[in-house]
Amino acid sequence: MKLFLSGEIVDPENMAAADIVIIGGAIVGSSIAYFLREEGFRGSIALIEQDPHFTFSATTLSAASIRQQFSIAQNIRLSQFTLGLFRDLKTRFGEDADIGFREKGYLILASAAGRSVLEHNHAVQRAEGAAIALEGPEALHRRFPWLNTENIAAGAYGLEGEGWFDAHAWLALFRRALKERKVDFVTGTVSTIAAMNGRAAGVGLSSGEAIEAGTVVNAAGPNAGRVAALAGLALPVEPRKRSVFVFEARDRFDDMPLLVDPSGIYVRPEGSVYITGGAEPHATDKAADPKDFEPDWPLFEEVIWPTLAGRIPAFEAIRPGRAWAGHYDYNTLDQNAVIGPHPDMRNFFFCNGFSGHGLQQAPAAGRAIAELIVHGVYRTIDCSAFGYERIAEGKPFRELNII
């Protein structure tokens, strides 16, 4: 077969083939490859990654936290699947597997204006079996005496199944498992996607090499919209810059959960320091320059720190440390994942647009894609609500709890 990419016929010397080509080898791509093997797929898998040390991937630049506190049941189920993996980590990944899971909960605070949404979300979470306590300001202050509950009408606190972990270790476990499962790691940038007769036929790399493919999966994170466009497909996923700031404080609060202020600002302990972020102004929150990883220091100084000092008076005196910025894989339609094939190109699959919760949802989403490819149906979690059809129809399936 001759593969045409950008109108060029590829020299057969530069041509390889794989039954499944996955574009993007961070947590989502690695998880898809892992579960393809778990589901019994025996064909060849090429996992293509342009940044083999994952210096700029959302996976390694994330805040690495997991929660049950979503507004829709399907998102809770995706995260609960990961929680099951956390509980079973050593059986699945080996005795030395350790991702440093700190099960300290989330505390999501609501003002009077946000109370009914918090209550609605809490009911959804309880129905899914999540152990979340909904408490008023007095109870919250008794539980966390360091918290200023002024202007707080209620808070939802995760009693179990929520917390944070080490994103690098999490990714490394999957990558290591793939080495034993005969997955081809390809270093390169996918710059073209060939399509023929309504099917994806293969990908071209910027090096000039090409890989013929039976199935193509888009796991390109914040770059997923651009990768879809290479196949002539529209996907409303774009990079949105998110800064994370590290600071030291005199007081240590060992009981501190990941706290989310009604303003959207979050803070949590990270070892002996704290990390914080959130509250990017809606009006200026636009697609990021893919090369811009400069933290937004004015956001910290003018918005985040004053808000934190109001909510936790001990944080009036802190010592700011380093900071970093990463890109959310932001779905502009409804801030939710897009999982499944394109209706008009059935062998091109999306696993994109997680909008800030993809690290914790990657295993369930990866398994879902693997089940679809291998069995043709979802077996573990029904992800049809995340399908591309809603994108094509412009009908949002909206998640309200975006942090």
Ligand X SMILES: Cc1cc2nc3c(=O)[nH]c(=O)nc-3n(C[C@H](O)[C@H](O)[C@H](O)COP(=O)(O)OP(=O)(O)OC[C@H]3O[C@@H](n4cnc5c(N)ncnc54)[C@H](O)[C@@H]3O)c2cc1C
**Residue choice 200, 213, 219, 256 for contact with ligand X (CB under 6 A):** 219
Smallest gap from Cβ 89 to ligand X, in A, equals 17
**Residue choice 38, 39, 51, 270 for contact with ligand X (CB under 6 A):** 51
In the three-class reduction of DSSP (H, G, I as helix; E, B as strand; rest coil), residue 50 is classed as coil
Distance, in Å, from the CA atom of 183 to the CA atom of 122, rounded to the nearest integer, reads 41
Smallest gap from Cβ 32 to ligand X, in A, equals 9
Provide the 10 A C-beta neighbour count for residue 402. 16
Q: Is 37 in the site for ligand X (CB under 6 A)?
A: no
Q: Is 83 in the site for ligand X (CB under 6 A)?
A: no
Determine the angle formed by the axes of helices 73-87 and 358-375, rounding to 10 degrees. Answer: 90
Among 26-34, 35-43, 115-123, 303-311, the segment contacting ligand X (CB under 6 A): 26-34
Closest CA to 270 of 303, 247, 250, 304: 247
Smallest gap from Cβ 262 to ligand X, in A, equals 19
Distance, in Å, from the CA atom of 242 to the CA atom of 295, rounded to the nearest integer, reads 8
226 vs 36, 40, 201, 238, CA distance in Å? 25, 31, 18, 8
Smallest gap from Cβ 402 to ligand X, in A, equals 11
Q: Is 200 in the site for ligand X (CB under 6 A)?
A: no
**Residue choice 78, 201, 216, 244 for contact with ligand X (CB under 6 A):** 244
Q: Is 231 in the site for ligand X (CB under 6 A)?
A: no
Residues 6 or more apart in contact with residue 154 via CB below 8 angstroms:
109, 110, 115, 118, 119, 134, 135, 136, 137
R_g of the chain computed on alpha carbons:
22
**Residue choice 356, 363, 366, 387 for contact with ligand X (CB under 6 A):** 356
Phi, psi of 215 (to 5 degrees): -140, 140
Burial 16-39 (b: 16+ CB within 10 A, else e): bebbbbbbbbbbbbbbbbbbbbbb
Smallest gap from Cβ 354 to ligand X, in A, equals 4
Do 204 and 5 meet the contact criterion of CB atoms below 8 Å apart?
yes
**Residue choice 3, 21, 22, 26 for contact with ligand X (CB under 6 A):** 26
Binding-residue total with ligand X (CB under 6 A) = 40
Q: Is 69 in the site for ligand X (CB under 6 A)?
A: no
Q: Is 132 in the site for ligand X (CB under 6 A)?
A: no
Q: Is 276 in the site for ligand X (CB under 6 A)?
A: no
Strand 8-9 with 15-23, pairing = unpaired
Residues 6 or more apart in contact with residue 46 via CB below 8 angstroms:
16, 18, 20, 21, 22, 183, 184, 186, 211, 213
In the three-class reduction of DSSP (H, G, I as helix; E, B as strand; rest coil), residue 230 is classed as helix
Q: Is 158 in the site for ligand X (CB under 6 A)?
A: no
Among 84-92, 104-112, 117-125, 322-330, the segment contacting ligand X (CB under 6 A): 322-330
Smallest gap from Cβ 313 to ligand X, in A, equals 26
Among 99-107, 193-201, 355-363, 385-393, the segment contacting ligand X (CB under 6 A): 355-363
Closest CA to 335 of 279, 287, 396, 395: 396
Q: Is 326 in the site for ligand X (CB under 6 A)?
A: yes
Q: Is 341 in the site for ligand X (CB under 6 A)?
A: no
Q: Is 221 in the site for ligand X (CB under 6 A)?
A: yes
Q: Is 257 in the site for ligand X (CB under 6 A)?
A: no
**Residue choice 359, 368, 370, 383 for contact with ligand X (CB under 6 A):** 359
Q: Interface mask (CB under 6 A) for ligand X, residues 170-189, using x and -?
A: -------------------x
Q: Is 336 in the site for ligand X (CB under 6 A)?
A: no
- The vertex-76 CA angle with 74 and 79, nearest 5°, equals 110
- In the bound state with ligand X, the residue whose beta carbon lies nearer, of 27 and 370, is 27
Q: Using CB under 6 A, list all residues that contact ligand X.
A: 23-24, 26-29, 48-51, 54, 57-59, 61-65, 189-190, 219-223, 227, 242, 244, 326-329, 354, 356-360, 362
